[in-house]
Amino acid sequence: MTRDLGGARAARREENRIIAGRAQVIFLSASPSAHSPGHTASIALIADEAQDIEEEWFDRQFRPMAASTGASTVLFGTPWNGRTLLDHAVSQNRKLDAARLPGTKGMRLHHEVPWQRVAESRPMYGEYVRQERDRLGANHPLFLSQYGLRTVESAGRMFSNAQLAAIAGDFPRLAGPVAGERYVAGLDVGGDGERADATVLTIARLRPDRACEVVQQHAWNGAAYRVVESEVLALARSWRLERLVVDGTGLGGPIAASLQEALGDLVERLHFTGASKSALGYALISAIDTGRLRIFANDGSTEALALRRELAACESRYGSGRELRWGDESGHDDHVVSLALALRAAESVGPARVAVGRRRG
């Protein structure tokens, strides 16, 4: 393909290159599975989304491309957990900028543009960012890093005291469904027999504004799967659940399959992977920060105490590729995982079905 640049020379594209006269731009993948060595950067070596590039791989495969020419290396991206290729470059460049004596000449090495400045010239972008802030919450890790240009805390408690206070509702735990209300649930499947982790069912009601209120939790410790399956099925029918998201990973597979056979399409079988659990964690943080998730009042019950204890003990770590790894190292986070599955059910269920009929006469 050849494109007119409005001058004497024209640019053409050949595979992963754009060529204009004697100048050319070569586009390479930074994936460790890609073949990239053998190139030379004569003017600049540019890495986009540098926070997602493995630092050791970049240093070994790409930095040598500028060694013989002295070409500048330019990294673009947003901060993450303080341990990425980009984060390390930002830290080093800030130190060099700060060490430069006032009044001396030299190019500043670190540059950043906050979203508010971009919005001054691109109002539509500003509106988009504000919508993201409303959707995710101003303190959501993704919003802080991608738009606030702040490094997220690499490890620590997943929920602050303020978030734990925000999720606490003032409504009572319900013994059964209330006429006219809509309910969804999440089921985290624990071990069978002597395993210490529990199987937990979280039931939540949908508010008219699509907020999610947890009104009940049931836990089975060491119960046989056939007992759990039978009781969950009875509860699903009793509460007239519109959506049930089930942990279908490993030992949960048979229960999930059986519930799907009995209840049909209202059951979603979710396989836990790093990506799927990361998404559940981000959804929890967002729902708490935006007031879309609350739990029943602390009535001193085993379920109420267990849920609050697990929420306070949950820890998070932000890994490569913006993956959120979360949970309790002891493995006792079943109530929180079930809560996250119930939230997924609330956010994936469709609008209320309206009966349509024909009037006689």
Question: Residue 356: its pLDDT value, please?
Answer: 46
Question: Residue 309: its pLDDT value, please?
Answer: 94
pLDDT band for position 106 (50/70/90)? confident
Nearest to 213 by CA among 138, 152, 288, 264: 288
pLDDT band for position 1 (50/70/90)? very low
Region of 250 (left: φ > 0; alpha: ψ -120 to 50; beta: rest) is left
Using an 8 Å Cβ cutoff, are 224 and 282 in contact?
A: no
Question: Residue 194: its pLDDT value, please?
Answer: 46
Of residues 233 and 108, more confidence is placed in 233
pLDDT band for position 21 (50/70/90)? confident
* Least confident range of 64-78, 87-101, 259-273: 87-101
Q: Alpha-carbon distance 124 to 50, whole Å?
A: 26
Q: Alpha-carbon distance 59 to 53, whole Å?
A: 10
Q: Is the pLDDT of residue 290 over 80?
A: yes
In this structure, what DSSP letter does residue 17 have? E
SS3 call for 27: coil
pLDDT band for position 342 (50/70/90)? very high
Question: Residue 8: its pLDDT value, please?
Answer: 47
pLDDT band for position 132 (50/70/90)? very high
What's the pTM? 0.79
The label of the residue with tokens 């930002």 reads 90
Percent of all residues in the chain with a pLDDT value above 90, rounded to a whole number: 64
Using an 8 Å Cβ cutoff, are 74 and 41 in contact?
A: no
Rg (CA), the chain: 26
* pLDDT, averaged across the chain: 88
SS3 call for 143: helix
Question: Residue 353: its pLDDT value, please?
Answer: 63
Indicate the pairing of strand 293-295 with strand 212-221.
Answer: parallel
**Neighbour-count burial of 338, counting CB atoms closer than 10 A to its CB (0-12 exposed, 13-18 middle, 19+ buried):** buried
138-185 residue pLDDT tens: 888 888 899 999 888 766 889 999 999 999 999 999 999 999 999 999
Q: Is the pLDDT of residue 128 over 90?
A: yes
Nearest to 232 by CA among 210, 259, 208: 259
